[in-house]
Structure 1
């Protein structure tokens, strides 16, 4: 991921040097491009940009990598509880990502330029992961009721 972040900075800086119109120097994130990809299909005259191809490109790339490695398989949930926890966590991550203006990769991108909000977001993600591990995984292994 670190290489992708660095490559994003270099690629957009290079484009900004040769473009006639001003271009923001940015790097890889998924929260904004996910929203932009959705809006691409809703706009009457959409413009094709890098972030529009990022999300479908990652999905297609992961599919092809798994296919060529012989690791492509169907996976599912181990019951309703696991699905409920995953959907709840996905909702919280989406909400937090939109509030923070980026996701985990956006935090790495922000951290690479020492943005205070990115470091705060990373700290909160680590705390949330440790708390979830304690409340869900550790309690479940000890036979205690799982909180969620």
Structure 2
């Protein structure tokens, strides 16, 4: 999580943001996204996989199963809904206080609902499919690597991951086209290019090691109260804050929104 948070600030965005910006014609995000996907694949099945396995084995939860925070707190399954509603009310209060527009609130909430829909649909499919179907939802680390190999390998297998990345790309492209935001953009300097490439590599390895990106761990994993997801999200926040403070603020460089 720390590695992903550091890389997220260096690359000026998480994996999902890079994918969306690439769809608008941002060549910086195209380069960073490709590096992210390649390093992610190397960390999953390639040269970096032994290093990832060695680091992951340093601290394993009891029985190798993810800890359920609701169970650890002695709360029923319905307690998750209650906690979610409290967080939603707090988010609405902060949005109102910071004068966030209604349009941004709607589309921001849409990301959260998309995660819920992903869980529901893959679970429903797993109940009727003859072959085993993994119950999952939105994340961009594994799917980016799998989508890359989908276009490189033959025969290729269609699955949830393969639909997610192109789907988000096409949706972002359509939104940019309708909004008139399509434009080619490149790197502003060699320093920015090096930062973006290093950040993308850190995100690729860190995301695979953490079991998800800021969306996969921060929204998808956190929504089912997986202990490692909350820990990864907190570590991403720490890594991003520290990198922003150490690298951006002393130089007065513009920080990502």
TM category, shorter = 0.7 to 0.9
Q: How does 1:24-103 map to 2 (within 5 A)?
A: 24-103=134-213
- The structure with higher relative contact order (CA 8 Å, sep 6+) is 2
Gaps of 5+ in 1: 143-148
TM-score by structure 1 length?
Answer: 0.87
Match of 2:235 in 1: 124
Q: What is the alpha-carbon distance in structure 1 between the residues aligned to residue 145 and residue 196 of structure 2?
A: 21
**In the TM superposition, what is the alpha-carbon distance from 1:54 to its structure 2 partner?**
1.3
How many correspondences in the alignment? 142
Q: CA-to-partner distance for each residue in 1:104-128, whole Å, 9 max, x for gaps?
A: 1110211111111111111111011
Q: What is the alpha-carbon distance in structure 2 between the residues aligned to residue 34 and residue 7 of structure 1?
A: 20
Q: What is the alpha-carbon distance in structure 1 between the residues aligned to residue 144 and residue 252 of structure 2?
A: 36
Give the 3 Å change call, closer, same or farther, for CA 119–72 of structure 1 in structure 2: same
CA RMSD between the two structures: 1.7
Q: CA-to-partner distance for each residue in 1:69-125, whole Å, 9 max, x for gaps?
A: 111111222211111111111111111011112211110211111111111111111
Gaps of 5+ in 2: 1-110
TM-score by structure 2 length?
Answer: 0.52
Give structure 1 regions of 4+ aligned residues with deviation exceeding 4 angstroms.
none
Q: What is the alpha-carbon distance in structure 2 between the residues aligned to residue 29 and residue 77 of structure 1?
A: 26
